[in-house]
A and B are shown apart, each in its own frame.
Chain A
Amino acid sequence: MDFLQSHLLTLVIFAPILGAVIIAFLPRDEGGQHKGVALLASLLTFALSVPLAAGFRPAARGFSFEQRTDWAPNLGFSYHVGLDGVALLLVLLTTFLGPIVVLSSWKYIQDRVKFYCISLLVLETAMVGTLAALDLVLFYVFWEAMLIPMYLLIGMWGSERRIYAAVKFFLFTFVGSVLMLLAIFYLWSHSAPPGQLRTFDYVALQAQMPSLAAGTQKWLFLAFALAFAIKVPVWPLHTWLPDAHTEAPAAGSIVLAGVMLKMGTFGFVRYAMPLFPAAALQYAPAIAALGVVGIVYGSLMCMAQQDLKRLIAYSSVAHLGFVMLGLSALTPEAVNGAVLQMVNHGVSTGALFLIVGYFYERTHTRDLSQYGGVARVAPALSAVFLVVVLSSIGLPGTNGFIGEFLILIGTFTSTTPLGNWGSLPRGQVLSVLAATGVILGAVYMLWMVQRVIFGPKRRAAEHGMTDLTLREWLTVVPLLAAILLIGVYPQPFLSATRVPAEELIQRVARPRAARPQGAGLQRPPDPDLPGAARAEGER
């Protein structure tokens, strides 16, 4: 039991791989077994991650479920994993989506099933690992490991232009990562004076990095930020996304939208911003502005699409614009809202791709002009679609509202981090501009709804459109539950991210208050946080 306790996170990380290994030993032709094992492995992973949520103490500073084993001490890298509130939510999101992803393409994927299942499971391990890693080498390994299975998912099981999309996806993300790798090496080389042991350990590096010279910080920040901004994607680095989403099979789109894009925003929260706080503060207005451009521009792009999946892909650009805006605003409301919005986007856009995948499975078309009148033939599927769309446009009562509202109100009240344009507070300007996204979101999303489910029946509704099957119900019900739960009772989620958000803001936006002298990160424990002192001591 003790072993389980202390290795829980590691188990969650590697449980999917375990499934992949089992599948690898199964005979190639038996499709059903492969999927069954994949489902079991992903369910097991989710079950293992539940104690993570249950055992998490939101008030504790630092990382929970930490585990550290030396790997190559001379080179300074170790197997070091742990979770803070932000990572915890995203890990839960990943493991929650895992079984849904496996179930989503149960019928659709009939070709090279074994390889497909292995890819999905490897991908899940890579994603959880990326979130849990507390060592930069480990992080980078997991980060790059995500690329390969996703590349294969798009390239092998995608639709017509899959090769173009897969290569584009790979090149975009890879180019970004290379610069980040160089930056990681630089950090390592400066982690100790020559002759002493250097380290890739995140916790150690985080304590030192604010002392870097401003100029150096700037370059390192940009190297990290580029890698993450491509992943998010931040405008104008987004053009790989519509192609990748459109061509990927449904499961690929769900993973991509649900989790992988959040690796970019997570990267900002975990690495780019806290490691280089001065540079992060300097670039915050620019990133916030790019976020707003993403919101407005992404929404307008949606209005120009005829392809259902491409439309939803562009809506991701808009939604993640909100997240980037919230992170850069550096107020508690905005940062907590941004982190929650990462989860929301994973749930809602994941659900949208799931449902659109079901449409596509039935009709083999993504062309909006073929749709219409689906509500007549598939009322339940349409109702679910509508609810998910409503959460996507941030209707109060659904998850989307909490995230968007907090981001917008937090940005509006952000004074020092974002500064002024002349006499205009940038925060207020950006918040008002971003809020137009609330209108535009309704414009394109309800337009899409009308094109697909309302109006007279068109070709797609006439041919083979059936309502939800039991398996499909099993995939949508958890998502709907999450949408309503977060919308009605968001506090547990917000509480989980309170401390990391506060720490991020302290580091970046109020550096003087946080660091009395020198470069140390130590700060008197917050008296109103029980357990804070202990957590501090454990480190």
Chain B
Amino acid sequence: MEVSWLYLIPLLPLLGAAVNGLVGRFLPKAWLYAVALLVVLLSFCIGLFAWFEVARLPGESAQLRQLVYTWFSVGSLRVDLGLTFDRLSGTLVLVVTGVGFLIHLYSVGYMDEDPAYWRYFAYLNLFVSMMLLLVLADNLVAMFVGWEGVGLCSYLLVGFWYDDETKAYAGRKAFIVNRIGDFGFLIGIFVLYFYTGQVGFQALKVAPLSLGVASAAAALLFVGATGKSAQLPLYVWLPDAMAGPTPVSALIHAATMVTAGVYMVARLSFLYVQAPGVMAVVATIGILTALLGAVIGTAQMDIKRVLAYSTVSQLGYMFVGVGVGAFAAGTAHLITHSFFKACLFLGSGAVIHGLHGEQDLSRMGGLRRAGLKHTAATFFVATVAITGVLPISGFFSKDEILAQALNTRAFDFLTVLPDPGSPRLSFLGPTIYLVGTLTALITSFYMWRCYLLAFEGEYRGPAEVHPHEAPWVMTLPVWILAALSVVGALIVLPGHDLRFTWEHFTEGLFARTRGGAPAERLPELVAFGIALVVAWAGFATAWSLYAPGRALEGDERIARVSPGLRKALAASLYVDALYDRLVVKPLWATARTLWRVVDATLIDGLLVNGTAQAVASVGSVLRRFQNGDVQRYAAVTAVGVLILVYVFLVRG
């Protein structure tokens, strides 16, 4: 259904950004807050209205569309600024504006004392606008605008406190690593355009693609996703991105932007199911990243870095979901994750706020009884959700992904090598399930470690810091998110006859993989049992090491058992150092060498100035002819002209 008002959803926050960015400095603070919050709230309301419209419409026709204008059209390429609000993008609009609004509200408390609050809210509004464009775009190029737009906001907000060189560097790193991914995204667009002449999702959906083209395009676009959604090998920017203000980490680096890659794959499910090999890669990268993030997360001391690696890991789960063709399960986890991870990040923000900037777990402890009642309680709820010790949102959404991975038949007809005689890839699904279950164990461990170290036991920080609870503008949004982490379970409840589940809601939106109906390799209830046991095992391990009163003993014990491993994990497995040695340093060295050798010495020194010197020495001979005798000049000139005239007129 064509409507004429969809553009308001991304436009309103953009206007908010413009107002706050241009004149925010001169506005009274309250007005600025009002503008920043109202535009997001209005977008949310419009989104809600549209969402009910879409929910009423039946099945696949359930979408609202708007062609805002034709952005550019050259040759056979036509790029529209077109928006599509369907059940997937529509729900994400609600997540972005809803969670976004809560985080805006929270920021009013968090950033109140920062002199550059106006700049902060301008960036935050801009981010919401760009994220909405990314989600609503009906073609790859418009999506790319939002894609790079959120990257810009991430750059600006990570480096928000730019006086600090390392923070500015973290922002730059985020942007550049994302650009490496965007490079893949761009080439992916080119491939699709070259073979189909289209960039719009609707047109691409029905365009015939060969296996090779579909695989190339899907793989290239996935490179973009590894950048934006912090997957192997491009995840390295996300932990550093924690340099930004904590609400930003919650909104951009947990709930919304980093899930864009998952959304993109789900949006392009029709393309990915045509490239089963790439889907296997997506799922493999996803599970490896999930494991890696969880493992590194066990040894981080900075509360935000624990959560950052946790995000990397959870995003890996989502890619497992979309990679095995369980697009609904992957996106459902995206939604529940946005609730509980935003809750966790905002909780950590309240801790940092209450401890005057302290982020180190070793100087926390006992915060529950030291006054941070609300924060501790909400953090606890969200920790339960992510670890799955009780069946609330995170439990079901993660379990669904793992069950789908276990039972998938998407890879049954793929072989390890192109040679048809080589072994089949059907082992991939069960393997992913096993690794994923192990990862769930580790997840439960590091999250409970984090909770116990921060909130239980005795306070270990300096005596002059008196922990205090955040004001209501900060605790209220966190409570709402905690509540959502619990009720979020409703949309992911198992059972195929429940009408309100996400799977039912999005029926027909996603393409189906070739393998056919999933196998039943494990009864559902057994799988639930395993998941619960694993979650409790993780909790038990954490409890045995970090039980209240033991303070940091747990870390010391691990360090005693395996000092090398502990050090390597704390240093994030030296991946940054490796990239630095392999890519960054050589690149800059090449640049400097090329400049000195080719530009300065070879071209300029030898060719240019060398020629000049040769000319100069010839000139010293010719100088004899240049003796100031005007008559002789005239004679020579005349002869020259005659020769030219002869050449052109007589012979020509």
Contact = CB atoms under 8 A, between A and B. Distances in A.
A-side interface mostly: helix
Contacts of B360: none
A375 interface: yes
Contacts of A239: 599, 603-604, 608
A90 B117 CA distance: 42
A491 B70 contact: yes
A394 to B, nearest CB: 9
Interface size class of B (residues with CB under 8 A): 35 or more
A78 interface: no
A520 interface: no
13 contacts: A171-B612, A194-B649, A239-B603, A410-B74, A435-B183, A435-B186, A438-B182, A450-B169, A454-B162, A455-B164, A455-B168, A456-B163, A491-B71
Interface of A: 168, 171, 185-186, 188-190, 194, 236, 239-240, 297, 300-305, 331-333, 336-337, 373, 375-376, 390, 395-397, 401-402, 405-406, 408-410, 412-413, 428, 431-432, 435-436, 438-439, 442-443, 446-447, 450, 453-456, 489-491, 494, 498
Contacts of A490: 71-72
Contact of B190 (A373, A390, A409, A438): A409
Contact of B163 (A188, A302, A436, A455): A455
Given A300-B591, A300-B595, A412-B190, 12 more contacts: A239-B608, A297-B598, A301-B599, A405-B141, A405-B186, A410-B74, A439-B176, A446-B175, A450-B172, A455-B163, A456-B165, A491-B71
Given A303-B591, A454-B159, A439 B180 contact: yes
B567 to A, nearest CB: 30
Contacts of B77: 333, 406, 409
B186 A438 contact: yes
Interface in B144-160: 144-145, 148-149, 152, 155, 159
B189 interface: yes
Nearest to B194: A413
A435 B187 contact: yes
Contacts of B71: 490-491
Contacts of B172: 446-447, 450
A447 B171 CA distance: 11
Contacts of A297: 594, 598
B652 interface: yes
Contact of B194 (A412, A443, A455): A412
Given A396-B149, A438-B186, A454-B162, A332 B175 contact: no
Interface in B166-197: 168-169, 172, 175-176, 179-180, 182-183, 186-187, 189-191, 193-194
B632 interface: no
A396 B148 contact: yes
B521 interface: no
A318 to B, nearest CB: 12
Given A300-B595, A333-B77, A395-B152, A439 B168 contact: no
Contacts of B141: 405
A432 B594 contact: no
A490 B71 CA distance: 7
Contacts of A428: 190, 194
Nearest to B584: A443
A302 B193 CA distance: 32
Interface string B55-79: 0000000000000011111111100
A498 B594 contact: no
Contacts of A442: 175-176, 179
B608 A376 contact: no
B648 interface: yes
Contacts of B182: 438
Contacts of B164: 455
A455 B591 contact: no
A340 to B, nearest CB: 9
Contacts of A450: 165, 168-169, 172
B163 A376 contact: yes
Nearest to B116: A379
B588 interface: yes
Interface string B348-391: 00000000000000000000000000000000000000000000
Contacts of A436: 183
Contacts of A376: 163
Interface in B31-48: none
A181 to B, nearest CB: 11
B590 interface: yes
Contacts of B148: 395-396, 401
Contacts of B186: 405, 408, 435, 438
Interface in B71-96: 71-77
Contacts of B180: 439
Contacts of B152: 390, 395
A455 B162 contact: yes
A297 B598 CA distance: 10
Contacts of A373: 163
B595 A304 contact: yes
B594 A304 contact: yes
A376 B590 CA distance: 33
B592 interface: yes
Among all A-B residue pairs, the 3 with the closest Cβ atoms: A332-B75, A304-B595, A189-B652
Contacts of B590: 300
A406 B74 contact: yes
Contacts of A333: 74-75, 77
Contact of A189 (B75, B155, B176, B648): B648
B165 A454 contact: yes
B168 A409 contact: no
Nearest to B612: A171
